[in-house]
Amino acid sequence: MKIFQSKYWTFILLLGLKSTAQFSTTIPLRKDVVSGKLKNGMKYYVLHNAFPKDRVSFYFAQNVGAILETLNKITVSDIKAFAKQFFAQPKTVEVVMKSKP
């Protein structure tokens, strides 16, 4: 019985931690990180790293993709890619593509 109770309370604790972790929206940057935003909207973060010596390392993390699209941003490429799943006949795809500006 005690084992069940400890597992139960551990589960409840972990469930609570998981739900509170989702409310965190920003992660504070270290003071030695230089950040900015380019004219094209790309954000950058620069941090000095002593290793590897006499070399530069670049890592790009792009916040782009279909996962960020909303329903009003569906493009012709989306229609072409998923036409067989959502449309009964190829003629429907042609009609939708012609109606796009």
Bridge-partner residues for 34, per DSSP?
A: 46
Q: Which residues contact 66 (CB under 8 A, 6 or more apart)?
A: 78
The residue among 64, 58, 38 whose CA lies nearest residue 46 is 58
Supply the pLDDT for residue 24.
53
- In order along its 101 residues, the chain shows pLDDT tens digits of 556 566 666 766 666 655 554 555 677 888 888 888 888 888 888 888 888 888 888 777 777 666 666 666 666 666 667 666 666 665 666 666 666 55
Specify the amino acid at residue 54: D
Supply the pLDDT for residue 55.
86
User: pTM of this prediction?
Assistant: 0.40
Bridge-partner residues for 35, per DSSP?
A: 45
Report helix, strand or coil for 87: coil
